[in-house]
A and B are shown apart, each in its own frame.
Chain A
Amino acid sequence: MGLDIQWKELPAVQRRFLFYSAAAAVVFFLLLLRLWYLQIINYEVLQERSVRNRTRVLSLDAPRGPIFDRHGVLLVDNRPSFRISVMRQDVENSSLLFEQLAPLLEVDVAELESRWLKGKRLPIYRSVTLAEDVSREIMERVQEHSVDLPGVLTEVRPVRDYLEKGSAAHLVGYLGEITRKELQSGDFSGYRGGDFVGKTALERSFEPYLRGEKGQRLVEVDVQGKLFRQLKLEPARPGNKIYLTIDRDLQRAADEAFADQSGAAVALDVNTGEVLAMVSRPTFNPALFARGIAGDEWAILAKDGRHPLQNKVISGQYPPGSTFKMVVALAALRDGTIGTTKTIDCDGAFEVGGSRYRCWKKDGHGATNLKKALRESCDVWFYSVGLKLGIDKLSAAAKEFGLGSPVGYPLPGERSGTIPSQEWKRRHYNKPWYAGETVIASIGQGFVLATPMQLAVMMAAVANNGKVLKPQVVRQVEDWDGHLLQQTSPEIVRQIDYSPEAWTAVQDGLVAVVNAPHGTGHAAHIDDILVAGKTGTSQVVRRKSDEEEELDEKGEIPYRFRPHALFVAYAPAEKPEIAVVVVVEHGQSGGRAAGPIVKKIIQRYMELKEEKMVKEKG
């Protein structure tokens, strides 16, 4: 035992003890230094990281602005839609997750994988959408299993709701996911991949008004990405309210009048240029686009030969046919080519340059004055007058009415149609103009093309003695505090100058078309309202001769070769209010196919006006 004491008391051993204590103190001092470094020097950096660690920013999509009709009837709104998405940070094993999720969402694993891959292009802090617009049952099922599905979120977001289905779909337009090109273009600052933006028509042009402001939800999450609590909520601000010029009820009537026929119709306020109804048939359901259209749904729409996605009112170019004759008549009267009473003899055909141009009535109309020529749509009268007038004067007159160039429709997609002239032909074909071409241009055939909207502007100008109006589709834009952001007022593009006699003569002719015996537009006749109008039946393809005409088994012309049926009208003739243009594609006869639709639209317009008056009185 004594030996123990001796060893312990050795200076070397005592030194070792001292050294050990000192070494322990030094090591602890180093640990403290490190703690100082982390907790004092690096505090701010690590504090910030700890905040980011536990908080997630969830973006709240803003409801797009609602769209109303002229009387404040809701046309397009938003409805809540359930979206299943996943926080990328919180996914450890994506294939395992998708195997669990696929049966809950009732989709293939492959579908989820492809969405996941697509979403991987987004920044890490963005959630990846796995299923859009799922049913309430699916959403609840996912929520029940949320414990086993780390990082999976169920979000409620607003989705466009089209109360009128396909009605006015071409005016409103549709939405689509923002493309990479759009994002890079600089026009879409503040947007992010995955956002929905207006792709066509109003939704596109008024995107800045409609989009609203995104909100944010700052939430605290645990390590599994499960929501812990909400730290901050900046609610989304909905987009502004847009009031259209159309009347929901008139729009419905126009849509229904078409049944399953293809074509277009537009009703203009003759005094303001406001579009009261706008129909392009067949139509499509914009709701398909609101949640991201599926590839096969898109293919069906895109491949449809009847072009449901095209707004035929502004993009469909048709030979105006006989509806063009009112312009020819007016131009001839102003030029002095012919008087209101002078007659031309129609024997059923007109010859120029060795070619025979037939009147639609084989036996001819006999002695025909301007009124009769309009009423019975005598081709020979217009062949003769048009040829005398010459193409360039005719062309100039047509252009005054807004034909041959865009009429200023406020939304994208408008085509300009064609009003030919000698110069025009030289430029486009590098060929001289032939007299025969003037002849067929005089009845709105040949090179002449116009959109239904152009014809409506023309019709309105004839009805209101020469005021060419810019068509309007938006009455006003209003924010949620009631402030007016934009208000449109009537815009007169130009005033066309004709003598009052000229206007009266043509207007009388148009009244006769609908109301007189032998009038070609009798189908649009309404007993207690004086309707003025003009029919048109325009050839789709130029047939070389009648012998070559193809007939199907039933002895009918195949659909695609059938002529388009047109009808332009205004009412009431005494004090015009509404101009209506109807084009029924391959409708064969302007009077028979388009006339009844015009009638229904005008009738409905008058009914609605009366209802409104009764309501205001009562």
Chain B
Amino acid sequence: MFDRRLVANFDWVLLFTVLLLAGVGIVNLYSATASWHSAATPLYLKQLLWLSGGVLIALIICLFDYRHLEHFAIHFYGLSVGMLIYVLLVGKTAMGAARWIDLGFFNVQPGEVIKIAMILLLARIFAKTASPFGYGLFELWKPALWLLLPVVLILKEPDLGTAAMVIFIAVTMLLLAGIKRGTLICLGIIGVLIAVAGWFGLHDYQRARIRTFINPEADPLGSGYHIIQSKIAVGSGGFFGKGFIQGTQSQLSFLPERHTDFAFSVFAEEWGFVGSFTLLFFYLFLVVWGLYIARRAADRFGLFLAVGVTAMIFWHIVVNLGMVIGLLPVVGVPLPLFSYGGTSMVTTMIGVGLLMNVSMRRFMF
């Protein structure tokens, strides 16, 4: 099973890029939590542990051929949906939303697990059914149902950000698989209708977030606070930034969630436009490299798998950055490899492992 070619084809570029981004993330985390005086293990060290664990998981994933996963996709999916249901019934709550399962050493967020499961399942479906002519509306009702079941469950938690992520990933994969023009228009209209209807189904705090996104100054000390403070942090960084551990916004705790969702604001404040530009460049490289892996994949399952994982990473980056620089509403999406959090790190590294797996087996038929 262990081929010499596997080692020869190992995707060092991908691993290097990932480690670079995660390394910068940990350094940034050190600064973001520098003013915290706590006897417990510092967060940057914990994050380093998560990263090591993540790399280990990614390498383990590389050990077996990803093609075996095609058969188990449906099982993963079933397990994830079961976890989503379980969490709705007896989940740990954070900020009034039920999102975790406590495994003792680790809190599992089914919302994260379902992203991977969804990618695997859709990759399997699209690999089997994609045609040169693209999908018509009636061929799509089955994958649509697979998608909507977990999305509804996630919205029930409620977790708008994760639900949007799952939909974005699915749509990205679908559009690559191909779709008929009429169907596209049809889906577009349905999407708009759902969005309008969804507005009325949103929780008050979610609606408030969207409203304050449109006009954050209306409630500067309330729900607009996050956006305003983050914009101040980013903007006050200027061209060269305030310097490492010199960001006043972050060091003086004006920046909320600065170690998780708003970690990039800390980075942008301290490293300025130069730092932000560099970081964005490497993220873009990661995304383009992911697409490159997909294009070179040995089979259609691998191709869709790689596209799905890349889409997942891409949308997380875009939604998170859009949020912290005030382009998108605050929905609580972490920046992959950068924000503190074991779940996000593990999910991302599973995705990276899958990408490596696909990449190193590109010549194996």
A16-44 interface with B by 8 A CB criterion: 16-17, 20-21, 24-25, 27-28, 30-32, 34-36, 38-40, 42-43
Q: Tell me if A220 is interfacial: C-beta within 8 Å of chain B.
A: yes
Chain B contacts of A221 at CB under 8 A? 252
Residue contact B130 to A46, C-beta cutoff 8 Å: no
Q: Tell me if A8 is interfacial: C-beta within 8 Å of chain B.
A: yes
- Complex Cα–Cα for A545 and B167 (A): 109
Q: Tell me if B287 is interfacial: C-beta within 8 Å of chain A.
A: yes
* Chain B window 1-40, contacts with chain A (Cβ cutoff 8 Å), 1 for yes, 0 for no: 0000000000000000000000000000000000100000
Taking CB as reference atom, which chain A residue is nearest B35? Answer: A222
Q: Tell me if A298 is interfacial: C-beta within 8 Å of chain B.
A: no
A49-101 interface with B by 8 A CB criterion: 49-51, 53-54, 89
Q: A35-B276, A39-B273, A47-B235 are in contact. Are A17 and B300 (CB under 8 A)?
A: no
Residue contact A35 to B325, C-beta cutoff 8 Å: yes
- Complex Cα–Cα for A20 and B311 (A): 10
**A47 shortest CB reach to chain B, Å:** 4
Taking CB as reference atom, which chain B residue is nearest A38? Answer: B235
Residue contact A53 to B249, C-beta cutoff 8 Å: yes
- Complex Cα–Cα for A21 and B290 (A): 10
Residue contact A32 to B235, C-beta cutoff 8 Å: no
Taking CB as reference atom, which chain A residue is nearest B287? Answer: A24
**B276 shortest CB reach to chain A, Å:** 5
Q: Contacting chain A: which of B189-197, B314-322, B336-344?
A: B314-322
Chain A contacts of B283 at CB under 8 A? 28
Chain A contacts of B284 at CB under 8 A? 24-25, 28
- Complex Cα–Cα for A220 and B326 (A): 26
**A220 shortest CB reach to chain B, Å:** 7
Residue contact A24 to B288, C-beta cutoff 8 Å: yes
**Partner of A50 from B249, B253, B291, B298 at Cβ < 8 Å:** B249
Taking CB as reference atom, which chain A residue is nearest B327? Answer: A34
Chain A contacts of B365 at CB under 8 A? 1
Chain A contacts of B131 at CB under 8 A? 7
Residue contact B235 to A45, C-beta cutoff 8 Å: yes
Q: Contacting chain A: which of B74-82, B99-107, B148-156, B236-244?
A: B236-244
Residue contact B235 to A12, C-beta cutoff 8 Å: no
Q: A24-B287, A43-B238, A47-B238 are in contact. Are A7 and B280 (CB under 8 A)?
A: no
**A304 shortest CB reach to chain B, Å:** 49
Residue contact A1 to B325, C-beta cutoff 8 Å: no
Residue contact B318 to A39, C-beta cutoff 8 Å: no
Residue contact B321 to A31, C-beta cutoff 8 Å: yes
- Complex Cα–Cα for A21 and B288 (A): 6
- Complex Cα–Cα for A43 and B297 (A): 45
Residue contact A32 to B280, C-beta cutoff 8 Å: yes
**B96 shortest CB reach to chain A, Å:** 18
**Partner of B252 from A7, A10, A228 at Cβ < 8 Å:** A228
Q: Tell me if A223 is interfacial: C-beta within 8 Å of chain B.
A: yes
- Complex Cα–Cα for A345 and B231 (A): 103
- Complex Cα–Cα for A7 and B299 (A): 10
- Complex Cα–Cα for A31 and B131 (A): 35
Residue contact A17 to B291, C-beta cutoff 8 Å: yes
Interface centre among B35, B272, B284, B327 (most CB of A within 10 A): B284
Interface centre among B172, B273, B298 (most CB of A within 10 A): B273
Q: A8-B300, A16-B176, A31-B318 are in contact. Are A39 and B234 (CB under 8 A)?
A: yes
Q: Tell me if B146 is interfacial: C-beta within 8 Å of chain A.
A: no
Residue contact A39 to B178, C-beta cutoff 8 Å: no
**Partner of B276 from A12, A24, A39, A45 at Cβ < 8 Å:** A39
Measured CB to CB, the residues of B under 8 A from A are 35, 127, 130-132, 172, 175-176, 178, 221, 229, 231-239, 248-249, 252-254, 268, 272-273, 276-277, 280, 283-284, 287-288, 291, 294-295, 297-300, 303, 307, 314, 318, 321-322, 325-327, 365
A-B contact pairs, 5 of them (CB 8 A): A1-B299, A43-B236, A50-B235, A53-B232, A222-B254
User: When A and B form their complex, which 6 residue pairs have the shortest distance between CB atoms, in order from nearest?
Assistant: A46-B235, A50-B236, A38-B235, A223-B253, A39-B273, A47-B236
Measured CB to CB, the residues of A under 8 A from B are 1, 4, 7-8, 10, 12-14, 16-17, 20-21, 24-25, 27-28, 30-32, 34-36, 38-40, 42-43, 45-47, 49-51, 53-54, 89, 220-224, 228
Excluding A4-B127, A8-B295, A31-B325, 15 further A-B contacts by CB distance (< 8 Å) are A8-B303, A12-B132, A17-B294, A21-B291, A25-B288, A35-B234, A35-B277, A40-B238, A40-B273, A46-B232, A46-B235, A47-B236, A50-B236, A53-B248, A222-B254
